[in-house]
């Protein structure tokens, strides 16, 4: 057995990079040496259940190669709270809010939001969805809970509706689906703030907010009133959608909300009969835009009939076919986006100063 020192093990581990944070794992590790036995404890600050085995094997291989055979690796997840815009009150039961926006309607923002929420959950996080798409609330249907009405708690708060394990709130639960919303900006903002603050959320690591499409005043006001840690822009590859997506980027920049990345939806058409792939809306537009703007490209989803029928049935693809190719793409996006968030400043537990006179 080699002569073990903490320093030696640190050097071995310093060569291993977490593929999602792109950081050296040495910064998050804890090495214990008890005689000949080495215990490595890794704490990841983002949910990545599907990555634990790979990471553990990489560490094991590196240690074994260096003659350290008597070891064990333990990987745990601890999701912490990251900072939001200044001057907006945060929610005690919600660690991080991620807003999903699109410059243009119909690009698949809600479909992306629900599948991403389920992917974060599958990777080990507690997740909520706030459906802020007042004009066309689709989350109740997509989560398969459109017939349920929220109840009130004894303190007069709304109880979130649970769909596939996700806590959710939507104006769609409170009004009939075929009832068109003809509200003006200030009413929308007020309704959303109430849904956000008067719902009894419980122990949420990530809340996904499905914003209304567009980049007008309503979206801007929402982005200023909701304590958001980061945002995602969903776009399709056509030029027209990309131009609008760029407006979305500018909107978040204006209100100092970090942009975690871009998701390109409907990038390739995959025929449900023969599997033939065709780029009917063009390819690579989202990626090119991400590179131009210096923003992370999180991934692209094909235009595939199942994605549409699954959300329509109320069982989004990540739940319906959790090990399938599409679910894997959403899970990759979930890991990338939550890992990206770990690079922001954390909220430190500053106690308020109390003065007794």
Ligand X SMILES: Nc1ncnc2c1ncn2[C@@H]1O[C@H](COP(=O)(O)OP(=O)(O)OP(=O)(O)O)[C@@H](O)[C@H]1O
Minimum separation from the CB atom of position 24 to ligand X (A) = 35
Alpha carbon distance 42, 44 (integer Å):
6
Minimum separation from the CB atom of position 214 to ligand X (A) = 8
Residue 67 marked in a binding site: no
Alpha carbon distance 256, 220 (integer Å):
11
**C-beta closer to ligand X: residue 58 or 300:** 300
Residue 105 marked in a binding site: yes
Alpha carbon distance 172, 216 (integer Å):
22
Alpha carbon distance 93, 317 (integer Å):
28
Residue 163 marked in a binding site: no
Helix, strand, coil percent content, the chain, rounded in steps of 5: 35, 20, 40
79 contacts 95 by C-beta, under 8 angstroms: yes
Minimum separation from the CB atom of position 318 to ligand X (A) = 13
Residue 110 marked in a binding site: yes
Angle 239-254/285-293 helices, nearest 10 degrees? 30
Minimum separation from the CB atom of position 88 to ligand X (A) = 24
Residue 107 marked in a binding site: yes
Minimum separation from the CB atom of position 239 to ligand X (A) = 17
Minimum separation from the CB atom of position 245 to ligand X (A) = 11
Minimum separation from the CB atom of position 307 to ligand X (A) = 4
Q: If you compute the radius of gyration of the chain from its CA atoms, what whole number of angstroms results? A: 22
Cross-strand pairs, 130: 169, 209
**C-beta closer to ligand X: residue 223 or 342:** 223
Signed CA dihedral, 162, 248, 23, 91: sign only: negative
**C-beta closer to ligand X: residue 111 or 342:** 111
**C-beta closer to ligand X: residue 205 or 210:** 210
**C-beta closer to ligand X: residue 296 or 306:** 306
What are the distances in angstroms from CA 60 to CA 25, 73, 93? 13, 7, 37
What are the distances in angstroms from CA 9 to CA 27, 89, 125? 13, 43, 30
191 contacts 199 by C-beta, under 8 angstroms: no
CB burial string 30-60: b at 16+ within 10 A, e below: ebeeeeeebebebebbbbbebbbeebbebbb
Nearest to 98 by CA among 278, 3, 223, 2: 223
Minimum separation from the CB atom of position 210 to ligand X (A) = 7
Alpha carbon distance 120, 145 (integer Å):
20
**C-beta closer to ligand X: residue 102 or 189:** 102
**C-beta closer to ligand X: residue 129 or 303:** 303
Can you say how many angstroms the Cα of residue 93 is from the centroid of all Cα atoms in its chain?
Answer: 17
Q: Which chain residues interact with ligand X by CB under 6 A?
A: 102, 105-111, 133, 136, 138, 213, 265-266, 301, 303-304, 307-308, 311
Q: Which residues are annotated as a binding site?
A: 103-110
Q: Which residues are annotated as a binding site for ATP?
A: 103-110
């Amino acid at each position: 057995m080699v002569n073990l020192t903490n320093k030696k093990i640190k050097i071995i581990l310093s060569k291993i990079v977490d593929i999602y944070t792109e950081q050296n794992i040495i910064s998050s590790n804890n090495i214990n040496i008890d005689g000949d036995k080495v215990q490595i404890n890794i704490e990841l600050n983002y949910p990545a259940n599907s990555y634990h085995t790979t990471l553990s094997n990489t560490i094991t291989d590196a240690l074994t190669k260096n003659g350290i055979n008597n070891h064990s690796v333990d990987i745990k997840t601890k999701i912490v709270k990251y900072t939001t815009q200044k001057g907006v009150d945060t929610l005690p039961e919600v660690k991080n809010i991620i807003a999903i926006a699109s410059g243009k309607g119909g690009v698949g923002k809600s479909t992306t939001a629900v599948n991403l929420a389920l992917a974060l959950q599958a990777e080990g996080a507690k997740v909520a969805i706030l459906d802020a798409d007042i004009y066309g609330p689709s989350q109740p249907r997509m989560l398969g809970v459109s017939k349920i009405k929220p109840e009130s708690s004894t303190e007069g708060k709304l109880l979130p509706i649970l769909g596939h394990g996700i806590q959710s709130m939507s104006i769609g639960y409170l009004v009939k689906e075929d009832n068109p919303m003809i509200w003006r900006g200030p009413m929308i903002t007020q309704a959303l703030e109430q849904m956000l603050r008067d719902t009894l959320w419980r122990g949420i690591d990530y809340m996904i907010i499905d914003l209304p499409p567009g980049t007008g005043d309503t979206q801007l006001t929402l982005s200023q009133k909701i304590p958001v840690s980061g945002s995602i822009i969903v776009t399709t590859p056509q030029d027209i959608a990309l131009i609008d997506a760029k407006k979305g980027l500018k909107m978040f920049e204006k209100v100092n909300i970090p942009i975690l990345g871009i998701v390109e939806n409907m990038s390739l058409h995959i025929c449900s009969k023969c599997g033939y792939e065709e780029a009917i809306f063009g390819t690579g537009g989202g990626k090119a835009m991400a590179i131009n703007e210096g923003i992370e490209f999180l991934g692209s989803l094909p235009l595939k009939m199942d994605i549409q029928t699954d959300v329509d049935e109320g069982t989004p693809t990540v739940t319906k076919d959790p090990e399938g190719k599409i679910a894997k793409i959403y899970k990759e996006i979930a890991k990338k986006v939550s890992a990206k968030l770990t690079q922001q400043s954390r909220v430190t537990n500053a106690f308020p100063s109390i003065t007794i006179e």
